[in-house]
Amino acid sequence: MTHAERIARTILEGFHRHYSLFGALTDDAGRRFLAGDWQGLQRLSAERISYYDTRVGECVTNLRESVAADEPETDLWQQVKQAYVALLSFHPQAELAETFYNSVFCALFDHRYYHNQFIFVETTIADRMPLPMEAEYRSYFPVLEGVPATLHQIIHDMGFAGRFDDLDAEVNKLRNAFAATAVERLIQPHELRIDVLKHPFYRNKGAYIVGRIVTTQHTYPFIVPLLRHSDGRVSVDALLTDPVHMAVIFSFARAYFMVRSTAPSALVSFLRSLMPRKSKADLYSAIGLHKQGKTEFYRELLNHLAQSDDQMVEAPGVRGLVMMVFTLPSFPYVFKVIRDRFGSTKEFGRDTVLARYQLVKRHDRVGRMADTIEYSNVALPVARLSPDLLQTLQQSIGQSLCVEGETLVIRHMYIEKRLTPLNIYLEYASSEETEAILQDYGQALKDMLAANIFPGDMLLKNFGVTRGKRVVFYDYDEVQYLTEMNFRSMPVASNPHDYLLDAGSHSVAPNDVFVEQLATYVFPKAALREVFTRLHPELLDPAYWQAQQQAILDGEVSDVFPYPQACRLG
């Protein structure tokens, strides 16, 4: 075995160790769901995020002795890459193994060498999947035993047999729900096939069965959420066939699913057949493979830059005091970089911001907090930045960037989906749209509280509106755990003559919050303030916030459903 082959095998062995441990942790989600161990599920989800970096670090340590140079030896590393490609010829996780290789190489060497000569900027499996989609799903044929028996078999194969009080009743609920939404009527058993992904998807307090019903005329994608009740029994909660509802469940504003997969590329391809508007980057991240999501996103960005010619500009909206935000108008994302200096009202530093973004990354985002993709040493063509933006970047984030010839390198960056800032949305909203979006803004706050998140700065500019008209929070520099805050009532003067003395006699600690001022603080316009106060009066009462805190301290994990209440089957 050559030196190059040994290096290639060491990297692949590191990946195998990672994916084995990652898979074992993921498998434990099903056991915890059936046991009702919600806090355990939350810990698993958070713990799993750090597994990748830990395994990369271990692999780098194993290679240090054989790769002592600070610069890669060109001939050697080209041979290493060729040997690695050969090892991946029939590997079921080849695309993930490529990304692991990239991570190891990038941990060993400087960013000057991050190009396709040494790493997999371009994948070697672009035109093929290691395994076909059929490797990840089972097909069922009701013509053989009828629809009810087929649905019973699906439940059994998913591992939930014996968990229902009355499985026949649950099956009837599903049949009736499908009949109510299907375009065709009176579909006979011989006229359909049911394809179901082999493993349930777990997240928060739900398990999800994902598949499609194929008839002679249509294909109906579906998601079936299952709930586990306090007595241990399981029930069907909904049948979701609306593409909008399905997209929300796999939204960028939700924490990663835990689902077992032997061939992730096949799983992602199947999911894209159900939700074609979702990118590969979106779906890899959604199933917990966020490092692969980063890889796919970066390839999307490079491809878009090659096929477009517009320039990056400062993002619309109110400038942030902590982040410098810019965007490429033809690309639906924003790029966020921590400023060199913060506004005078921000009494914290860079390390605090990094920690708070990491907090959100590891937390259940309950559909209300945008996912962030974190990158180091991002290279952008200087020619694609407008002169005004380049000057602004040099003034605001000069310590985080350098210009190398025709390339601008930003040392640390967050990337998020571009949303319409809520304050801008409200400027053009009709009265009906205003009512609906303020209802959802208040619900977004309540959902975050239920997940033990205090957003900190609740100004409208820090929230965005998605394509589906949902409110999502995206500014994390003041995020803290809800249980760390102190919700107080406003001081009341004992008589009208000494109100100044009374107000001055009340000290205010850093984590004190007076929610009675929320509407005034967030809504300078009286009309908006009136609507919000009418829709969410409890959010102006410190007792409500204190009750949410106490529920979390008591160990309660709230149900936050990723689909409308109207979809629930009861």
- Residues known to be catalytic: 371
Residue 135 assigned ligand-binding role: no
CA 235 to chain centre: 26
Q: What is the DSSP letter of 238?
A: B
Q: Whole-angstrom Cα distance, residue 232 to residue 162?
A: 11
Is 192 labelled as part of a ligand binding site?
no
Residues 270, 290: contact at Cβ < 8 Å? no
How far apart are alpha carbons 225 and 231 in whole angstroms?
A: 18
319 assigned ligand-binding residue: yes
Q: What does the alpha-carbon distance between residue 509 and residue 119 come to, in Å, rounded to a whole number?
A: 51
Question: Comparing C-alpha atoms, which of 331, 235, 266 is closest to residue 568?
Answer: 235
Flag whether 253 is marked binding.
no
**466: nearest Cα among 247, 296, 238:** 247
| 198 known member of a binding site | no
Q: Is 429 annotated as a binding residue?
A: no
- At 508, list the tokens: 């205010």
Concatenated DSSP letters for 277-318?
TS-HHHHHHHTT-HHHHHHHHHHHHHHHHHH----BEEPSSS
Distances (CA, A) of 490 to 279, 487, 502, 512, 513: 48, 10, 11, 11, 9
Handedness of CA 424, 425, 428, 434 (dihedral sign): negative
Q: Is 321 annotated as a binding residue?
A: yes
By CB atoms closer than 10 A (0-12, 13-18, 19+), residue 349 is exposed
Q: State yes or no: 318 annotated in a binding site.
A: yes
Q: What angle do CA 404, 409, 412 make, to 5 degrees?
A: 155
Numbered residues of the known binding site for ATP: 315-321, 336
